[in-house]
């Protein structure tokens, strides 16, 4: 990861989150050593959230869940 | 006439040579000739003929003996031939019986093998069909899943509510937090 992005959590959402949700996201990132959060809107994830902190990816997107369901079938 | 006859008989008895008009020297000579002829014939004709007849008889006996021996030999050969023929017939019957048994055994083997092969082929075909059926079933299930997911994607793409999305995000954050605390 580049040094400028170090300490930054990259958050991908399908639609804009309200302030309360953004605060919870920021708190989640801060607990993991990332005081900064950079948001990206990507409707293709359909819903939910994807957070990348360093090499760790937290994937709670609807698309991934559907994919998991499809694979399990 | 009786007297003539009696007279002649008396003369014949008294002097037979004279009565018959013969001289005794001539009679003796004839007798001598007869003896000489008889002896000559005996040695020159009777003996060789007798010898020849004996030899012929001997030859005939020998031929008969040979013939009998030959007949006996022929009889033995005939018996032997009949025995050989009988043995050959028995042997042929045994060979034929064995051949029939062997043929039946081989036929049974062939039928058995064919039956086993048929069973194996049926089992193999059933297995293949089962595998194919399971494969098709999986493929159908996969396609159904794909279509279902696609439909769900299309539905969610348009219909997901901001409140639902918010709840989803919060649930995710809560779940990740709780996982890491463990």
CB atoms within 10 A of CB B10: 11
Q: How far is B175 from chain A (nearest CA, A)?
A: 10
- Does residue B111 carry a pLDDT above 50? yes
pTM for the predicted model, two decimal places? 0.50
Residue B17 lies in a domain: yes
Q: Which domain holds residue B39?
A: 2-157
Q: B164–A63: do the CB atoms touch at under 8 Å?
A: no
CA distance A26 to A50: 13
Q: Does B176 touch chain A if contact means CB atoms closer than 8 Å?
A: yes
Write out the residues of chain A at the interface with chain B, using a CB-CB cutoff of 8 A: 13-15, 17-18, 20-21, 24-25, 28, 31, 43, 46-49, 58, 60, 62-63, 66-67, 69-70, 73
pLDDT the model gives residue B1: 65
CB atoms within 10 A of CB B18: 12
pLDDT the model gives residue B173: 94
pLDDT the model gives residue A5: 64
pLDDT the model gives residue B5: 83
In chain B, the number of structural domains is: 1
Residue B173 lies in a domain: no
| Tens of pLDDT, residues B119-151 | 999 999 999 999 999 999 989 988 888 888 888
pLDDT the model gives residue B6: 84
DSSP assignment string, A5-42: GTTEEEEEESS---HHHHHHHHHHHHHTT--EEEEEE-
Please report the ipTM that was assigned to this predicted complex. Answer: 0.89
- Does residue A4 carry a pLDDT above 60? no
Residue B44 lies in a domain: yes
Q: Which residues lie closer than 8 Å to B156 by C-beta, 6 or more apart? A: A46, A47, A62, A66
Beta bridge partners of A10: A38, A52
| Tens of pLDDT, residues B12-23 | 788 777 777 778
| Tens of pLDDT, residues A14-66 | 999 999 999 999 999 999 999 999 999 999 898 999 999 999 999 999 999 88
């Amino acid at each position: 990861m580049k040094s400028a992005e170090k300490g930054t959590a990259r958050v991908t959402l399908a639609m804009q989150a309200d302030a309360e949700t953004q605060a919870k996201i920021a708190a989640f990132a801060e607990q993991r050593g990332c005081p900064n959060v950079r948001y990206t809107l990507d409707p293709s994830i359909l819903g939910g959230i994807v957070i990348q902190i360093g090499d760790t990816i937290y994937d709670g997107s609807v698309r991934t869940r559907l994919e998991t369901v499809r694979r399990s079938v | 006439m009786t007297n003539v006859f009696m007279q002649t008989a008396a003369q014949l008895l008294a002097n037979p040579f004279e009565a018959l008009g013969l001289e005794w020297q001539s009679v003796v000579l004839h007798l001598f000739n007869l003896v000489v002829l008889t002896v000559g014939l005996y040695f020159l004709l009777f003996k060789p003929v007798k010898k020849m007849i004996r030899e012929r008889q001997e030859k005939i006996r020998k031929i008969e003996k040979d013939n009998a021996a030959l007949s006996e030999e022929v009889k033995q050969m005939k018996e032997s031939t009949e025995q050989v023929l009988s043995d050959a017939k028995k042997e042929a019957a045994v060979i034929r019986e064995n051949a029939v048994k062997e043929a039946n055994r081989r036929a049974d083997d062939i039928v058995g093998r064919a039956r086993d092969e048929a069973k194996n082929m049926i089992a193999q075909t059933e297995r293949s069909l089962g595998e194919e059926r399971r494969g098709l079933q999986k493929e159908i299930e996969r396609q159904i899943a794909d279509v279902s997911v696609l439909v769900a994607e299309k539905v969610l793409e348009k219909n997901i509510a901001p409140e639902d999305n918010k709840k989803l995000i919060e649930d995710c954050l809560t779940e990740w937090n709780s996982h890491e605390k463990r």
